[in-house]
Chain A
Amino acid sequence: MNMHHFKLYDFDGGIHPEQNKSQSTQLPITTAKIPQRLILPIAQHIGAPGNPAVKPGDKVLKGQIIAKGEDFVSCNLHAPTSGIVGVIEDREVPHQSGMSATCIEIITDGKDTWIDHQGLDNYLESDAASLIDCIAQAGISGMGGAGFPTHVKASIPASKINTLIINAAECEPYITSDDLLMREYAMDIIKGIEILQRILLPEQCYIGIEDNKPQAIEALQIALKENLDDTHNIHVVVIPTKYPSGGEKQLIQILTGKEVPVAGIPADIGIVCQNVGTVHAIYQAVALGIPLISRITTITGDAVSSPQNYQVLLGTPVTDVLSQANAQPNKVKRLIMGGPMMGFTIASADTPITKTSNCIIAASDQELPDPAMEQACIRCGMCTQACPAQLLPQQLYWFAKSSNLEQAQAHNISDCIECGACSYVCPSNIPLVQYYRFAKGEIKQAKSDKKSSEQAKLRFDIRNARLDRETAEKDAKRKARAEAAAKKQAAKKAAPPATPASGDATAEPSVDTEVLKQKVLAAQTRVDKARERLAMAQEQNLETADALELGLNKQIDKLTAAQKSLEEAKS
């Protein structure tokens, strides 16, 4: 079954950057030490951030929920070890912007005491709903990089899915966390796949893996043979090494020859894609009841003396793991979270490891020197050759550079996956991807501006309509009153000695006086209130006193006016 030969497809473009993977595969996965403090951002996934479920000072146990994902597209967060909740405040989080966001700090107690936990018994006989619930409870989100909540992906109706793809390509240079995970936990991964199959009922399942990971391939194949009988439909598909074969869209194209339609998701063509790391987390959650509280992270780069993969508790500051891998701080020039093609630099080593941090590269100056100065684009077309999305990167570059957002959109800039292949090959050292990110950001901004300006226009129109209506109503009332008055006048003239107690005409003024009386009363209270407030302000010497005095005078004026009109009405 494993020897089954597969027709592979190819995707356009792609590059072959230097692998730099062997540095970190020499040693097995090691468990990193529990740091003194864990910093846990409440948003480590795509979607709504979790709501903190603990207060500073609370004691927490390992595996206890500390932030609850209340929306459907959101994730729970658990305490990675036991300890006491420190502060809950904004801290620097792993994000390209280098900004801060809410984090829960846990001061660890070193005892690592578990909360009660257990997996589902006989999980392969459980129904899909309880499996999905179990995944949701465990707070699992995509561990390959994007961090999309896994239970949401798993909730796609099984009837729509015919293929499950496990992304084990790990095409970015330097990163080996999936590789080592497969070498050491192949059996668990296969079991995790079985759980997903139980939920999604796919006709077939492909594990897409690049041919630069022979040990992982072998481990998977052995695990398959030992674990399952011959009727299984899980295929380990070895694909050629080419970046970005691990991009979801590209992997789907390689394995099935199909393309995810624009603005669509893989489920539109019957496919669900999951990363191997995620599959392993699913197994741990469902079979063992272990929520997502740690992950495998590659610590590598020239500035690290003993690069290797660590099992790290979420929230561990990067600096803690770096020092375990013997990093030389003065050699570090660039600290990258993720791979060298799509990862982002972090501005501080205190930034914590999160659910999506698959790799930390502490790069020296020789390794990743400062970017060379941007030269003029010579339209050489090397970027077009490299682009896996069949875009025209250089056209996009010209449009982005001149802020011609309209044309950039027309040339499908939104389909750029920001893989960086174009920047990699560009002989003029143009930071193409940054140009695209800039243009995409501007486009997004423009769209939201447009939306709010439309909204403002709408509200403006509604308000105007309301004002018009109000004036119209007032006019109508005034007219009615004038007419009534005229009638009364006429009636008076017609019957000068009329008896005051008869007819509607006489009731009118009494209503009027009622209203006016009310008004006087209201004005009186307002004056009183204003006096009070003024007195208070004067007592406290507030700057507002002057304004309040002015206000009081106005109120008094109004009161006198009201009283006057009442007198007039009465007489």
Chain B
Amino acid sequence: MSLILISIFALVALAILFGAILGFAAVRFKVEGNPIVDQLDALLPQTQCGQCSYPGCRPYAQAISEGNEKINKCPPGGESTIAAIADLLGVDPEPLDAEHGEEKDVTLVAVIREDECIGCTKCIQACPVDAILGAAKQMHTVISDECTGCDLCVEPCPVDCIDMIPVGTTMQSWHWPKPAAAQMIATDKVQTI
């Protein structure tokens, strides 16, 4: 009998002890964070393209945080963004909803063929980040550093003079790729001379 009592007592004591440790840890290591909307917004790519069917990234973040929206509707962010959001919210990542578009693997930037531009200002009105410079009846240009590649200016242009051009790798942005899973025998041979 006493053996049973002792065991029970020991177990209870242990439970209390570990409970106390866990409780302490929860208080001690608590992560103070921004409101969830801000955190979500920070994860979204800020392309402001509206492909998610919201007028920009923040409204989408707002919708997610209110719990009535899926997390897989942002094509520019793609799988990595979905994974990050899933991680933040502690839910399972889902594959990208193809209805809203596909993830592109190259970054694009808009370029206006300037000799064809009729200066209609339609693209300026469409650009969510004011990346297009120009005045009525004057040739327009895209500030390529500011352009998010959202595509929104292409459609409104009456003369179709906007192209989406992939941003090439420059010597500054180039870096070694991850070695292939098993870099069998190096195949990366260059033919010269």
Residues of A whose CB lies within 8 Å of any CB of B are: 95-99, 101, 319, 329, 347-350, 370-371, 373-374, 400-401, 403, 431, 434-435, 437-438, 440-442, 444-445, 448, 452-457, 459-460, 462-464, 526, 529, 533, 544, 547-548, 550-551
Q: Can you list 25 A-B pairs, Cβ within 8 angstroms, ordered by A? A: A95-B171, A99-B170, A347-B192, A348-B193, A370-B185, A371-B185, A373-B185, A374-B183, A401-B178, A431-B179, A435-B179, A438-B177, A448-B173, A453-B45, A453-B148, A455-B146, A457-B41, A457-B57, A460-B56, A462-B130, A463-B130, A547-B158, A548-B118, A550-B158, A551-B159
Residues in B with CB closer than 8 Å to A529 are 137
Residues in A with CB closer than 8 Å to B121 are none
Is A374 touching B182 in the complex (CB atoms < 8 A)? yes
Is A456 touching B176 in the complex (CB atoms < 8 A)? no
By beta carbon, the residue of chain B nearest A433 is: B176
Residue interface bits B99-127, CB-to-A below 8 A is 1, else 0: 00000000000000000101010000000
- Which one of A319, A401, A463 has the highest number of Cβ atoms from chain B below 10 Å of its Cβ? A463
- Residue B30, interface by CB 8 Å: no
Known pairs A373-B182, A435-B178, A548-B118. 11 more at Cβ < 8 A? A96-B174, A329-B193, A347-B192, A434-B178, A437-B175, A456-B146, A457-B48, A460-B56, A462-B130, A464-B56, A547-B158
Is A456 touching B159 in the complex (CB atoms < 8 A)? no
- Residue B46, interface by CB 8 Å: yes
Is B46 touching A400 in the complex (CB atoms < 8 A)? no
By beta carbon, the residue of chain A nearest B173 is: A445
Which 5 pairs across A and B sit closest by C-beta, in order of nearness?
Answer: A441-B175, A453-B46, A97-B174, A459-B129, A437-B176
Is B184 touching A373 in the complex (CB atoms < 8 A)? yes
Which DSSP category, helix, strand, loop or mixed, fits chain A's interface? helix
Is A99 touching B190 in the complex (CB atoms < 8 A)? no
| Docked complex Cα distance between A98 and B137 (Å) | 44
- Residue B21, interface by CB 8 Å: no
Is B118 touching A533 in the complex (CB atoms < 8 A)? yes
| Docked complex Cα distance between A454 and B45 (Å) | 9
- Residue B47, interface by CB 8 Å: yes
Residues in B with CB closer than 8 Å to A452 are 145, 148
Given A460-B129, A463-B130, the answer on whether A371 and B186 have CB atoms closer than 8 Å is yes
Is A99 touching B171 in the complex (CB atoms < 8 A)? yes
| Docked complex Cα distance between A85 and B22 (Å) | 75
Residues in A with CB closer than 8 Å to B94 are none
Given A98-B190, A453-B45, the answer on whether A459 and B146 have CB atoms closer than 8 Å is yes
Residue interface bits B10-54, CB-to-A below 8 A is 1, else 0: 000000000000000000000000000000010001111000000
- Residue B131, interface by CB 8 Å: yes
Is B179 touching A347 in the complex (CB atoms < 8 A)? no
- Residue B128, interface by CB 8 Å: yes
By beta carbon, the residue of chain B nearest A345 is: B190
| Docked complex Cα distance between A435 and B178 (Å) | 6
Residues in B with CB closer than 8 Å to A348 are 190, 192-193
| Docked complex Cα distance between A373 and B41 (Å) | 43
- Which one of B137, B158, B171 has the highest number of Cβ atoms from chain A below 10 Å of its Cβ? B171
| Docked complex Cα distance between A456 and B46 (Å) | 6
Given A348-B190, A529-B137, A550-B158, the answer on whether A460 and B176 have CB atoms closer than 8 Å is no
Is B46 touching A551 in the complex (CB atoms < 8 A)? no
Residue interface bits B49-81, CB-to-A below 8 A is 1, else 0: 000000011100000000000000000000000
| Docked complex Cα distance between A462 and B182 (Å) | 49
- Residue B155, interface by CB 8 Å: no
Residues in A with CB closer than 8 Å to B163 are none
By beta carbon, the residue of chain A nearest B176 is: A437
Residues in A with CB closer than 8 Å to B159 are 544, 547-548, 551
- Residue B92, interface by CB 8 Å: no
By beta carbon, the residue of chain A nearest B181 is: A374
| Docked complex Cα distance between A207 and B80 (Å) | 51
